[in-house]
Structure 1
Amino acid sequence: MFALLFSISVKDKCDSVNRLLVPTDLRVSGCYGSFVPGPNPAHVAMATLNEQTTLAFELTHSRALDEKKGVIIQTVLSYTSQQGVRRTRVQSLTLRCSRHLLDTFRNCQAQTLLTFYCKKMYCAVLERPLQDLREELQTEVTAALACYRKHCSSSSVSPGQLVLPQYLRALPVYLNSLRKSEVLLPGLRSSIHQRLQLRCQLVSMDVRNTAGHFYPFLLPLPVGGDTPSLPDLGEAVRCRAASLDPGGLYLVHGPLVLLLWVGQNIPSPSLVQLFNIACLSALPSGEIKLPVLDNTLSVNVRGLIDSLNSETPYTRKLQVVKQGDSCEEALQRLLVEDKSPNGGASYADFLYHLHVNSIRLLGH
């Protein structure tokens, strides 16, 4: 069984029908996305679609596939353009097959698997208990780690040593963030309407934005003295409270959130340059629009925010959170490596349980 993601590169089309054609050795066992499912998962009808529309297909094979020929998959998309013209696009994809598990793990991508599981689990929340879905996620990643440890790792590995596939090292932190998300583990302050809106946004989200939602970028901003150039996304720090310096400024960037955390020991000159205030107590928490000031820090931060907003297909408002403030829970939910306010496990605890359960599964 394996997953397949399709991103449809068309702009604002309507009355679309997407058909997935597979060889006789394969069967389309599921399709997940922002649509009303029909009796045939290989035949998907959607009222509208655009270039952000992403569908996840689940394919199952009952016998060995031909390694030499591989697998050819074809998608046929019919839609009506804005001019009222009915069009059909056909795309073919050839996938390699291998009997070696190591090849399978080498060709897996953590962000793609996260997107597939997100769509699959979020589509199932209307029909299955949330506890069952969280346990299924943990069971599947445990089985994958046990399989890799048994068939792909060195025989000299001790039982107490954690073994993760090289290209899936980020998968546990992604899936733990998915398990304790507001949709699968509701908090006391999340309403059913907020959870439904979040579910609808994520089941249609592409791979890059899905990964950014479940592990946001935590960017440290320069404070005090001469202001150097601002960091890019590659300089983001880990999403945990230990990464936050009380004397610093941090911008949290995700596809649905843009949050500016202000430490309680931030230098006064930085407050003046960025907010035009001299005292932290005068800075209000919540939604804010940064004042237009003629200094390097203000120009760079506003330029960074404009750049990040231009890359995100969602409208976001900047939210300021001060350290120790009552609304700091909004930031705590985004620090996905820590224990979440709704009771979700920290990344370290989740990884420990995965390791113990995989060892137990192998009978060590």
Structure 2
Amino acid sequence: MEDFLLREFYRNTIREYLIALGTFVGCVVLLKLFSLLVISRLQQLAEKTENTLDDFLVAFLSKTIMPVLYLVAFYFSSHQLNLHALNPRVFRIGYAIVITILSVRGFLSVIHYLIIKHATRNEGENAALREKQVKGFLTPFDLVAWTISLIFLLDNLGYNVSTLITGLGVSGIAIAIGAQAVLGDFFAYFVIFFDRPFNLGDYIEVDKEAGVIEYIGFKSTRLRTLTGDQLIVSNKDLTNARLHNYKKLKRRRVLFKLGVTYQTSALQLEAIPKIVEGIVRSVKGLTFDRGYFIKFSDSSLDFEFAYYCESPDLAPHIASLHEVNLKIFKTFAEQGIQFAYPTQTVYIQK
């Protein structure tokens, strides 16, 4: 038995191979136990919290740190052997490839988490759709990261990558020249993504067109207008235009004018601001601001009023405006106050 264990293969005895194998198996067993007892428990605790950071950390530990520990275990076990006879260059290339893959995966997982966390904050019900769009945007970013990593890997392994870099540079310039418009919209998407002038579900107005944001893509953004049709606007046009985002409203300010006839008495003129103020205050959700007699027009005595609708939504604003107008019309009719309209009186002298 002792003679069998002392037999050599590639400058290592069978005993040394068994010791290295036993060391590696023992490390794997310990890591498996750690995964089952510790990581599984951490995952259960993370699922009970609303915070996504602990979920990410547990996933990072499981998918990135654990493979690194397995690699360390293999490295420690294999270095108990004489590797010169086993072509150490193969091991060096293998270590470089595995370390590169694990490093890029870990880096990209952190970047993905940070970007998705930034993009989906304050999205509410649209968070899932927003996350799906962001993952689509991250695909070209991942491709670039893996390409750069491959170039660095080949360079570290001793290969000449100058020709490859030159070819990629020339190809990139040619693509950029041929697709200027598309790239302009694509980079405008980055501006929209990081600056966040609007989000999914926001009601915006741009170039006298208005609608609700339904989709934000790499090249264009789609709006659903009030008439029901879909309006498609390029991202570059959106970033260059002046737009109104009505979703950012905290409350709406309403300014309107009333004109009454010159036959209105002075007492009635004094009463009109108080009448309108009482009407506005009687409607739920409205806050009266001001009301004054401001102008002698050709055919009317003009008043100007302002109030706030505390809801930023359009439907409550229209409903309250409807109620205020009806009450003003009924009250003025009861008080004998007549609304003015353009008229001309012609006096004929004989």
TM over 0.5: no
TM-score by length of 2: 0.24
As a proportion of its length, which structure holds more helix? 2
Query: Which structure ranks higher in relative contact order (CA pairs < 8 Å, sequence separation ≥ 6)?
Result: 1
TM-score by length of 1: 0.23
Q: Which entry has the higher C-alpha Rg, 1 or 2? A: 2
